[in-house]
Structure formats: C-alpha cells, structure tokens
Amino acid sequence: MNFLAHIYLSGDNDLLKIGNFMADSIRGHQYEAYPTEIRKGILLHRAIDSFTDMHPIYRQSKHRLHQKYGHYSGVIMDIFYDHFLAKNWNSYSDEKLEDYTEKFYTLLKNNYEILTERTKGMIPYMIGRNWLVSYTSIEGLEMILFQMDHRTKNRVAMHESIVELQQFYAEFETEFQLFFEELQQYCREKLAQL
C-alpha cells in the first residue's frame, strides 16, 4: 500500500494519519520518541506493510511484475493499488478525493514541526504535483513512476509497468477490491488493539 491507502486506513485521527504517512522514514525504535497517537500510526503502518506483503492476493498481483521488475515489483504494486483506491474512492468515502487530500496537505503544513526531515523534503513535491489525486489517472501514475525511477537512479524503469497495468487491468482491480476488504477489517482490529 502506498500513501493514499495508509492515510485512509488511519481513520479520522489526524496524528495517527501523520504517523502512518511518515512511518517509512522512521527506523527501529525511533518511533518511541513521538507522541502516543503518532506512535500508533507508525505501528499501524508497519502492521499494514506486513499484512500486505504476506497476503496471497497481493502476492498474486505482484507476481505478474516480478520477472521484469524484481524487488521493485512491490513498490509498483503499492502504487497500482493506490490507483484503484483513488479511482474507486466514492466506494470507500463520502468525501470527495480532492477535498480529502486538500485537508491532508493542510494537516501536514499545520504539523510541520513534527515531521521527519525526509518527509519535510518530500512535501513540496507531493503537494505541488498533487500526488494523491494523481493516482486516479494512468498519466498521473506514470508521472509518479517516473519520479520513483529518478529516486532509484533508473534501476528498472518502473514507468514501463504501465504496460502491465493496462494489460492486466481487470485482474489487478478485482484483486485490489478483494484484498482491500480484508485489509480494512484487519486495520479496524489492529486499531482496537493499539
């Protein structure tokens, strides 16, 4: 799961959303230095990643990309799954995606001092190019994948995976929908434990 799904799965708790969003830039026990709700978000993020990586439906989706993209097939699949969440947003939320993302960007700006340095460095690009709404279109996905290529020194040309997305679009979308139902239930249970 990529940014949009992690934020969405945090529910209505703003600090939990921030923790979940920036969790990839927090290593090991560094999370313990943060306020309780941010810690919960970081732990939820880690739980989502573990659940996702081990889930047979997600692994089936990822397998289609593995031969060509290797280790990066998971990165690409996370972005594809965010695409299906954004595309089908009205099935998951009563709030328009544009309004939801604008509120999240404002939340980041209003809590800037809490964010990790890596997250602070990413925010201008994320907001400037409106990444979260960009997930809705193939063109937006391609732009995001080009940016990922740049960040990884063009190791595997992730932007080319748009071909596989279009080739297996129906299969990926069905798999996402089945998987996401289970992931939502898992997150509800996990949040009750945290």
pLDDT digits 0-9 by tens, 22-45:
999 999 999 999 999 999 999 999
| CA 98 – CA 140 distance, rounded (Å) | 14
pTM of the complete model beyond 0.85: yes
- Distance CA(177)–CA(194), nearest Å, equals 26
C-alpha distances (whole Å) from 32 to each of 50, 62, 97, 107 are 20, 32, 32, 22
Structure confidence by residue, pLDDT tens digits, 40-67: 999 999 999 999 999 999 999 999 999 9
Is the distance from CB of 69 to CB of 76 less than 8 angstroms? yes
Per-residue pLDDT at 151 = 82
139 vs 43, 63, 107, 133, 159, CA distance in Å? Answer: 32, 23, 27, 11, 10
The more confidently predicted of residues 147 and 73 is: 73
Helices 73-87 and 56-69: angle between axes, nearest 10 degrees: 130
